[in-house]
């Protein structure tokens, strides 16, 4: 069973993602900010993280992504950035941080499932 970590500060979005993934064979974990997400990633070593870019607190999604991808013990974790920002420069920032994919909100449940399945096939 693939382990997925959702890092999203908005409870309603976390719930929608969790409900989408509950129909698939995933072990789902959640964090509400970047710091908690990084701590959980270190403890759980998920196969994939769904990581919101804009979050309150000490670490935003780009910083969490960068830290995970620069840590040899965590770098294999696939990261999908979730954000309302869809401009080319925002996508570029995500790529520079090391993200494996980038979904612009609002995204469809099918788009989310397809992205996760594609990224975890090789994990």
Look over the chain and give the mean of its residue pLDDT values, rounded to a whole number: 95
Best CA proximity match to 41, nearest among 59, 20, 23, 57: 59
pLDDT in tens, 37-71: 999 999 999 999 999 999 999 999 999 999 999 99
pTM value is 0.95
Quote the pLDDT of residue 122: 59
* pLDDT for 123 beyond 70: no
**What's residue 24's pLDDT?**
86
What percentage of the chain exceeds 70 in pLDDT?
Answer: 98
CATH of 2-116, one of 3.40.50.2300, 3.90.550.10, 3.40.50.620, 3.40.1080.10: 3.40.50.2300
**pLDDT value, residue 73:** 96
Using pLDDT thresholds of 50, 70 and 90, give the confidence band for residue 25.
confident
The structure tokens listed for 104 are: 């612009």
Measure CA 39 to chain center.
Answer: 14
Classify residue 90 by burial, with Cβ atoms within 10 Å: 0-12, 13-18, 19+. middle
- pLDDT beyond 70 at 31: yes
28 pLDDT more than 90: yes
63: exposed, middle or buried (C-beta count within 10 Å: 0-12, 13-18, 19+)? middle
């Amino acid at each position: 069973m693939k382990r997925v970590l959702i890092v999203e500060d908005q409870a309603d979005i976390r719930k929608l993602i969790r409900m989408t993934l509950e129909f698939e064979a995933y072990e789902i974990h959640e964090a509400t900010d970047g710091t908690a997400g990084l701590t959980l990633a270190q403890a759980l070593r998920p196969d994939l993280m769904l990581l919101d870019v804009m979050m309150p607190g000490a670490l935003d999604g780009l910083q969490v992504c960068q830290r995970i991808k620069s840590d040899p013990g965590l770098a294999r974790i696939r990261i999908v950035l979730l954000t309302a920002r869809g401009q080319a420069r925002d996508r570029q920032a995500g790529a520079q941080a090391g993200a494996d994919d980038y979904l612009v909100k609002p995204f469809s449940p099918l788009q989310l499932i397809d992205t996760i399945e594609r990224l975890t096939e090789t994990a």
